[in-house]
Amino acid sequence: MKKLLYIFSLIGILSFSSCADELNTEPTDKVSGSTIFADASSAETAINGVYRMLYVAGWSEKWGAENCGQTAINLLGDLMAEDHLMKEQGQGWFYEDYRLNVHGDYSSKSGRSYSIWNFYYTLISNVNYIIASETSMGGDPELKNSVVGQAYAMRAYAYFYLIQLYQQTYKGHETAPGVPLYTTPTVAGSEGSPRGTVQDVYTQINSDINKAIDLLGNLNDKEQTHVSHVDYYVANGIKARICLVQHDYANAASAAAEALKKPSLKVATIAELGGNNSVKVADVLWGMEIIADQSSAFASFFSHMDADAPGMYASKARQCISTGLYALIPDTDERKTAWFRGAIPAEEEKSSSSYTSYCQTKFKMADYTTRTGDYLLMRAEEMILIKAEAECHQDKYDDARATIKTLGNQRDSGFENRLSARTDAKTYNSNTNAPLQTLMDEILFQRRVELWGEAGRIFDLQRLGLGYSRNYEGSNHTEKVTTKNTEASSPLFILPLPQSEIDGNEHIDSSDQNPIVQ
């Protein structure tokens, strides 16, 4: 009889910095499913370890440098689409995602299929221990509700990414195979679950995020004890993302509006954002503060992004904006020159720095000496974009215009005139490089520019039913993938199940595998 053997290899002892105080998690591979946390304090230690999982590397047997937690998944989701490219191949890290060429690694414990599966299911396994202790946990009731609420939110978060990465988008695929659901503690050798359906997974996600919002919203103090923690406002931000994918636009708008109520939250100026590397900026809802002794150095998001960081990977595999998207950005938009290079004469280009045409300068290490920079997982600007898009989908054009102005006027000195030229409509171009005409075109364009490199563009293309072409006049893409399917429902945009899951789960066999394209 097959039993699960690997997906619940747990985090062990991890340290996490919260206001410079180190906390240790209980190694949950040394407890059984019936073990409960004695009190809320021990559960808080465990949830801190879960947050650290979001930025550590090492989720695969090899190629660990490209498996640096959540930001790595956001990056690969961007590179699979049309707005983001790598100018050079480097050692191949992330370049195979950009080439849409990772399906062949499904049998390896070093490939994307395994590393992402292992990452999210390890997170789920850990929070399940906390959730199982909800009714028996002692200690301060406020702390207990806070920690359990965070655990529900993180389980919703993990399943939300799993279902997007291992199956087509929600709308139109509700009855397609989902991913295995586990809602109780498990250990190595526990019996596996079947795939179920996409709807089954979203039903669990919706239940979990609503439970999180209820628990966190009933606290006397709704705000975070540390920016890394999911609070009431972040939980609403996660719900806004979930609802947007489900085309539940009314709830997407209301959840985003609730997230934006966080005290002192505001849209940041480009100058305030700097290199998008500090959780202390006023627009940050949720982020990971990285201190010097927790830097992953080479195996970090900034190592792959900042081509000016001495000795880091990005100088040999530079991340650039596509000429298609860049051409749509007006010269009055500050992001055009603050975040990206323009065209640079060939004789002036450098071979190993950001001084090359269209190279990104949006993400910069905060400190080259310590090789650090904070990871931003949710910003106010994203919530504005979700709210505006959701309002537009509901034909609330005046509301959508007012909402998008709160961002656009901060970025583009000519935004009022630009927006006035857009017609009130929720339709949008099928050619993503075509001139903008409608209000929805403008909102989606603002999302592409503002969230470039941080939201995973491929997820937007899937939920919006958009394909793409990299092969257009003036394209700077180094991999145009002209022989590959880049329509919205392409099997290349979802990952195969890892072979080790098929081998280890008695309720999944080779007939349950996603399409493998090589």
Per the domain annotation, does 121 fall within a domain? Answer: yes
Per the domain annotation, does 420 fall within a domain? Answer: no
pLDDT in tens, 94-129: 999 999 999 999 999 999 999 999 999 999 999 999
Q: Which residue has the higher pLDDT, 133 or 293?
A: 133
Pairing between strand 375-379 and 284-288? antiparallel
Per the domain annotation, does 122 fall within a domain? Answer: yes
Per the domain annotation, does 408 fall within a domain? Answer: no
Mean pLDDT of the chain: 91
- Please say if the pLDDT value at position 18 is more than 70: no
Instruction: Give pTM, 2 decimals.
Output: 0.94
- Helices marked H in 246-350 — which ranges? 249-259, 270-273, 301-305, 323-328, 335-338
Q: For residue 48, with 0-12 CB atoms within 10 Å meaning exposed, 13-18 middle and 19 or more buried, which class applies?
A: buried
Percent of the chain with pLDDT over 70: 92
Which of 70, 163, 192, 179 lies closest to 123 in space, CA to CA? 70
- Please say if the pLDDT value at position 25 is more than 70: no
Average pLDDT over residues 143-151: 97
Q: Residue 177: which domain range? A: 15-60+111-221
Per the domain annotation, does 127 fall within a domain? Answer: yes
3-class state of residue 96 by DSSP? helix
Three-state secondary structure string covering 481-500: CCCCCCCCCCHHHCCCCCHH
Report residue 289's pLDDT band, with 50, 70 and 90 as the boundaries.
Answer: very high
d(C-alpha 516, C-alpha 518), whole Å: 7
pLDDT value at position 318?
98
Least confidently predicted of 179-193, 245-259, 277-291: 179-193
pLDDT in tens, 57-107: 888 888 777 887 899 999 999 999 999 999 999 989 999 999 999 999 999
Average pLDDT over residues 364-393: 97
Per the domain annotation, does 205 fall within a domain? Answer: yes
Least confidently predicted of 51-55, 70-74, 222-226, 495-499: 222-226
Report residue 304's pLDDT band, with 50, 70 and 90 as the boundaries.
Answer: very high
Q: Which residue has the higher pLDDT, 24 or 85?
A: 85
Could you give the number of structural domains in the chain? 1
Q: Which residue has the higher pLDDT, 191 or 3?
A: 191
**Buried-state track 353-363, b at ≥16 Cβ within 10 A, e below 16:** ebbbbbbbbbb
- Please say if the pLDDT value at position 306 is more than 60: yes
pLDDT value at position 223?
82
Q: Which residue has the higher pLDDT, 345 or 297?
A: 345
pLDDT value at position 323?
98
pLDDT in tens, 429-453: 999 999 999 999 999 999 999 999 9
Residue 412 sits at φ, ψ, to 5 deg, of -135, 120
Per the domain annotation, does 28 fall within a domain? Answer: yes
What tokens appear for 184 in the block?
Answer: 């109780």
Contact 286, 230 (CB under 8 A): yes
Contact 517, 492 (CB under 8 A): yes
Per the domain annotation, does 29 fall within a domain? Answer: yes
User: Domain holding 37: CATH number?
Assistant: 1.25.40.390
Which of 80, 185, 116 lies closest to 490 in space, CA to CA? 80
pLDDT value at position 296?
62
d(C-alpha 345, C-alpha 285), whole Å: 40
Report residue 189's pLDDT band, with 50, 70 and 90 as the boundaries.
Answer: confident
Place of tokens 């490939």: 111
What tokens appear for 377 in the block?
Answer: 């997982």
Residue 385 sits at φ, ψ, to 5 deg, of -65, -40
- Please say if the pLDDT value at position 35 is more than 50: no
